[in-house]
């Protein structure tokens, strides 16, 4: 019997360490898009909470652990959220779509992580505005992405899998620019 070999979206592209910043690929485990049907957000949230311990998040918010493969859920658009790190339970009142292979997920970590992202994304990343657990659908360079703050100096970017090369290239160039600026001072 044939055996198919799995390849990750950023295989051969990551990790990177530039200046004070590292960029690594995240294996989020199973990734499931959940979109509750009309009037079913609460019921879906309750069912999720009972099964995996996290409910359905408010807009621009995440719930659950941000480290490791423990269950967490990330809002990702109107009436939609992505459950990561856990198999999705049976949710009869929601559309459930497997997205485990759809996203390139990278983590940007380090003292200059926000400075690197500020080269690429128009959203306000200041501590007062974008705290740990906050998330946004926005742009990184020309790509539509989801950006989540997962730590004091740590952010996750989810981009289309097919754009992994461009994502890494753009992050690399931005990190190089930030590091070269630091060297100027």
Partner 1 sequence: MRVIKPTGTPLTFTFDGVQYRGVEGDTLASALLANGVKLVGRSFKYHRPRGIVTAGSEEPNALVTIGTGPSQEPNVRATTVQLFNGLEARSQNAWPSLKRDAMAVNDLAAPFLSAGFYYKTFMWPKAFWEKLYEPIIRRAAGLGALSGEANSDTYEKAFAHCDVLVIGAGPAGLMAALTAGRAGADVIVADEDAVMGGRLLAETFDVDGQAGADWAADAVAELAAMPNVRLMPRTTVTGAYDQGTFGALEEVSRHVPRSDAPRECFWRITAKRSILCAGALERPIAFPNNDRPGIMMASAVRAYLNRWGVAPGKAVTIFANNDDAHRTAVDLMDAGVKVAGVIDSRADVAALGDYPLYTSGAVIGTKGRHALDSITITHAGGTRELRTDCLAMSGGWNPTVHLTCHMNGRPQWDDAIQSFVPVEGAIPGMVVAGAANGQMSTAACLQSGAQAACAVATELGLSPVADVPSAEDDPYRIEPLWQVDGKGRKWIDFQNDVHVKDIKLSAQENFRSVEHMKRYTTQGMATDQGKSSNVVALAVLADATGRGIPETGTTTFRPPYVPVSIAAMGAGSQGHGFAPKRLTTSHHASVARGAPMIEAGLWYRPSYFPHPGEATWLESCNREVGYVRNAVGVCDVSTLGKIDIQGPDAAAFLDFVYCNTFSTLKENRVRYGLMLREDGHVMDDGTTARLGADHYVMTTTTAAAGQVMTHLDWVSQALRPDLDVRFASVTEQWAQFAVAGPQARELLNSVLDDAVDGDAWPFMSCGPVSIGGVKGRLFRISFSGEHAYELAVPSRYGASLFRLLTAQAEALGGGAYGMEALNVLRIEKGFITHAEIHGRVTAFDIGFDRMVSQKKDCVGNAASRRPGLLEAERPQLVGLKAVDPKDKITAGAHLFVEGADPVSANDQGYVSSVCWSPTLGSHIGLGFVADGPNRMGEHIVAVDHVRGVRTLVEVCHPVQFDPEGERTRG
Q: Which residues contact 11 (CB under 8 A, 6 or more apart)?
A: none
User: Which CB atom, from 52 or from 164, has the smaller least distance to partner 1?
Assistant: 164
Nearest to 157 by CA among 165, 1, 149: 149
CB half-sphere exposure, 17, CA atoms < 13 A:
1
Residue 43 tokens read as: 């019921």
- CB of residue 77 to partner 1, shortest distance in Å: 9
Write phi, then psi, for 175 (nearest 5 degrees). Answer: -65, -40
Whether 76 and 33 have beta carbons less than 8 Å apart is answered as: yes
User: Which CB atom, from 67 or from 100, has the smaller least distance to partner 1?
Assistant: 100
Binding residue for partner 1 (CB under 8 A) from 134, 141, 151, 172?
Answer: 141
User: Which CB atom, from 24 or from 80, has the smaller least distance to partner 1?
Assistant: 80
Does residue 20 touch partner 1 according to CB under 8 A?
A: no
| Distance of alpha carbon 112 from alpha carbon 6, whole angstroms | 33
Does residue 90 touch partner 1 according to CB under 8 A?
A: no
Binding residue for partner 1 (CB under 8 A) from 64, 103, 136, 168?
Answer: 103
φ/ψ bin of 180: left (φ > 0), alpha (ψ from -120 to 50), beta (otherwise)? alpha
Residue 70 tokens read as: 């423990």
- CB of residue 53 to partner 1, shortest distance in Å: 24
| Distance of alpha carbon 78 from alpha carbon 56, whole angstroms | 12
DSSP class of residue 7 equals -
**How far are the Cα atoms of 48, 113, 120 from residue 164, in angstroms, in the given order?**
30, 18, 15
Stretch in the footprint of partner 1 (CB under 8 A) among 41-49, 52-60, 64-72, 170-178: 170-178
- CB of residue 116 to partner 1, shortest distance in Å: 10
Stretch in the footprint of partner 1 (CB under 8 A) among 15-23, 48-56, 63-71, 154-162: 154-162
Binding residue for partner 1 (CB under 8 A) from 17, 42, 111, 122?
Answer: 122
Binding residue for partner 1 (CB under 8 A) from 21, 108, 113, 125?
Answer: 125
Residues that bind partner 1 (CB under 8 A): 1-9, 33, 35, 37-38, 79-80, 94-103, 118-119, 121-126, 128-129, 141-143, 160-167, 170, 173-174, 176-177, 180-181, 183-184
């Amino acid at each position: 019997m044939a055996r198919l070999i799995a390849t990750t979206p950023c295989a051969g592209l990551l990790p990177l360490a530039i200046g004070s910043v590292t960029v690594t690929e995240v294996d989020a485990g199973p990734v499931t898009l959940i979109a509750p049907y009309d009037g079913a957000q609460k019921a879906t949230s309750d069912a999720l909470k009972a099964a995996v311990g996290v409910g359905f998040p408010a807009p621009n918010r995440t719930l659950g652990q941000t480290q490791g493969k423990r269950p967490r859920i990330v809002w990702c658009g109107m009436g939609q959220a992505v459950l990561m790190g856990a198999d999705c339970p049976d949710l009869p009142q929601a559309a459930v779509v497997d997205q485990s292979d759809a996203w390139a997920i990278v983590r940007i970590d380090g003292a200059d992580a926000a400075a690197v992202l500020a080269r690429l994304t128009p959203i306000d990343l200041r501590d007062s505005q974008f705290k740990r657990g906050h998330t946004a659908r926005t742009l990184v360079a020309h790509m539509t992405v989801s950006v989540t703050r997962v730590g004091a100096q740590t952010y996750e970017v989810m981009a289309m899998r097919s754009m992994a090369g461009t994502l890494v290239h753009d992050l690399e160039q931005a990190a190089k620019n930030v590091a070269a600026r630091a060297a100027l001072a």
